[in-house]
A and B are shown apart, each in its own frame.
Chain A
């Protein structure tokens, strides 16, 4: 199974470059921060932290990962191997999704701030895949880290602002079409959680498909020839 080998490779890569250690430190930090808040704020604070950090880590790290693979010529080898682009993409999305879920679970569970449900974990996972897919989309087109960071700012704002507005009480019904808002609804286990779940799945699939197309054209361009 190629996808398992890719996944194993990606997880090993992330472990080796300190992702697990980094998020261990940050989880402890976040949990202690949550405990320093008054009881009434804790749930919102925990959801906000999970949404903006572990769930969004793909958008933050994907540029570094893909650019590093480009400079180390890993992508050249993958491009000529039998690996399909969707397998490469899935492995990136899943490996980061695993970290997001573990960290999101730890923050929510150990701080006792969030009602732990399967919906909540699935929500984090889907959101993480969505962010990673957007990250992959941007990373495939960037030439340097600065370039990547600048290009992710609009995506961050578009995903984060409506979601945070929702969390703090601005809740018109149509906003539920927004993927970030869907995660909030899932996390809070609200009335429309099921609808939110379906919409989030559709958004994630949509961005994964676009990311797949971009990765495909990136693989074609690596040899220096545009086919």
Chain B
């Protein structure tokens, strides 16, 4: 446990040094404020202008999901950037042969940040949500968002050999969140084309309020993490 915490301490120190910690903490809060106060205002303006009763209101749930995703995503993104830097400077390899080990390294860089983000997601939704949530569903969705964020960070890290490819992967990894949008905009069966994405099932779970959907959601997330984690393990020597 001690080496793990120490490795996590190094991570925190690094993001403090780069001022990234501020961004990671402030960005979700800014988004929350924008969604909570800006969106209903924009909705009232739009409705008045187009003479309709609702325009954006149907997508409030989607915005809440994005808000729920923000904390784990920001933490895991900062973490992926630190991991890319550490690999180019050979730090990752050194960490893997210390008592931290490969697993400890991955835990301290991916699982701990996502775990810290979990209560933050719940608090953000509690104070700033646009729709009504029950706490069981909220915990489930926060958990799924944490898992997808871990999958994204793993994706960035395991498909790149250095920082440059890492940044290209960051761009590409945004596509993994297309799953969040699909159930809201693609109403036909074609939406299931996105079923291999963990974010798709999180959105589906909230839309249909069917707790059975938690099963495919967890399964898809864990398959992603398992497959990418194995790939990463082979890359860390």
Contacts and interface: CB of A to CB of B under 8 A. Distances in A.
B23 A22 contact: no
B81 A18 contact: no
Nearest to A22: B168
Contacts of A13: 164
A145 interface: yes
Given A68-B163, A146-B82, 11 more contacts: A17-B165, A22-B172, A25-B172, A29-B175, A63-B167, A64-B166, A71-B89, A144-B81, A145-B81, A147-B20, A150-B20
A65 B164 contact: yes
B209 interface: no
B89 A61 contact: no
Interface residues of A, number: 25
Contacts of B165: 17-18
A71 B87 CA distance: 10
B14 interface: yes
Contacts of B168: 17-19, 22, 61
Given A65-B164, A146-B15, A150-B20, A22 B82 contact: no
B234 interface: no
Contacts, number: 69
A37 B167 CA distance: 29
Contacts of A143: 18
Contacts of A153: 23
B85 A61 contact: no
Nearest to A61: B167
B77 to A, nearest CB: 9
29 contacts: A17-B164, A22-B168, A22-B171, A22-B172, A61-B164, A61-B167, A64-B163, A64-B167, A67-B85, A67-B88, A68-B162, A71-B88, A71-B89, A144-B85, A145-B81, A145-B84, A145-B166, A146-B14, A146-B15, A146-B18, A146-B19, A146-B81, A146-B85, A147-B17, A147-B18, A147-B20, A150-B18, A150-B19, A150-B23
